[in-house]
Structure 1
Amino acid sequence: MMIHSHSRHMTFGAKVAPRKARKSAWIKFILAAVLTVGSWQVGSSVYLLAKAHLAQYLIADAWQETLADGQPHPPWSWADTHPVARLNFPTLTETTYVLEGASGRNMAFGPVHTQSSGMPGTPISTVISAHNDSHFSFLGQLKLTDVIQIETLDGAYSYRVSDIRVVDSDQHQISINQRDELILTTCYPFNALQTGGNLRYQVTAKRL
């Protein structure tokens, strides 16, 4: 009886892996479908928010592939961008993935890295932006001295928040400085009824 029971257990275990693989494939298919259809719902904030958060699953998978082989991987077949970093906010238990290229199209799917800025580990400011109703909705909860962690292909880096301010983008552009710092920006105020104003919430963090 014990041998028979063990045999049944091994047979069940052998079926688990294929089932998980099929489930993962279906999840990716569904997410990709959500991202590529529903254009008639472009005006729906619910659809836009769902698309923004679901996209992060595909971006996370693409980032793992990049870490494995060191090559850029678009998160879906028609994407003209790829993930370049993973942001972690320990005090807020928030994690998000950063796409290359600060275009409005890319920002619909996640935080974006300004190509003219630097990357962590280089002596030039790294600028990352995202929408305040999705991937940077929590940015206003950061406090001075909070730590921000960022993972890139070159390694993992930690920064401490040193400055938080609201700036008028019509009068002041982001200053890209000759130092290793992280600048995160989003629209302000949070939870505004209308978007696209000129105010920006800017968080600056210095390398530890």
Structure 2
Amino acid sequence: MFTGIIESVGTISSLTDLGDNYRLVVNVGKLDMADVHLGDSIATNGVCLTVVDMGQDYYAADVSSETIKHTAFADYRTNTQVNLEKAMRADSRFGGHIVSGHVDGVGAVERINKHTNYIEVWVKAPSEIAKYIAHKGSITVDGVSLTVNEVDGASFMLWLIPHTLQETVFGTYTAGSKVNLEVDVIARYLERLLQGDKAAEPTKKDISMEFLAQHGYLK
């Protein structure tokens, strides 16, 4: 579990195709690796990855082709910068919100409006997760816990202060940049709870000749 408070900006030093998966190596920047062990989790631009090799200034993780396909990792290359957060400790401050490190969808930066003391960023979310994004609710963007300041359909707006821009990869965003999105887990549970007893019912399948045969309707 994570909180969405970024500890360092790292840099991808290599991303190697191993056939069934990829080996990712990240230079961790200022991230303190003293208490990191093999098998620990590090959120990398919001994706929970398991450390399989490490040193004082780097870690390596295996990333499945499925993860590459369903996250912004598909666009990452050597020298891409990534937000880093170590897994939350039970005795640490809970500064953001509950973040699992499981990406719900990939959004795209629509536009960036610069103001005197902050920038306004509009992000377009995939339509299937738009219902989970609420005005003044929490959302995780590339691993960062943020507050939604405005919603317009599947698009939502964020205000980013100078500190956030300096301590995350947000300063590198341009229109069209792909971002990993994780909705608030509480919204997911509420949706399931509202289904009541129907939640226990199996998902309906499309009726086909094969389905009818399997259920004894055809001889």
TM-score w.r.t. structure 2 length?
A: 0.24
TM-score w.r.t. structure 1 length?
A: 0.25
Q: Which has the higher contact order (CA 8 A, sep 6+)?
A: 2
- 1 or 2, which has the higher helix percentage? 1
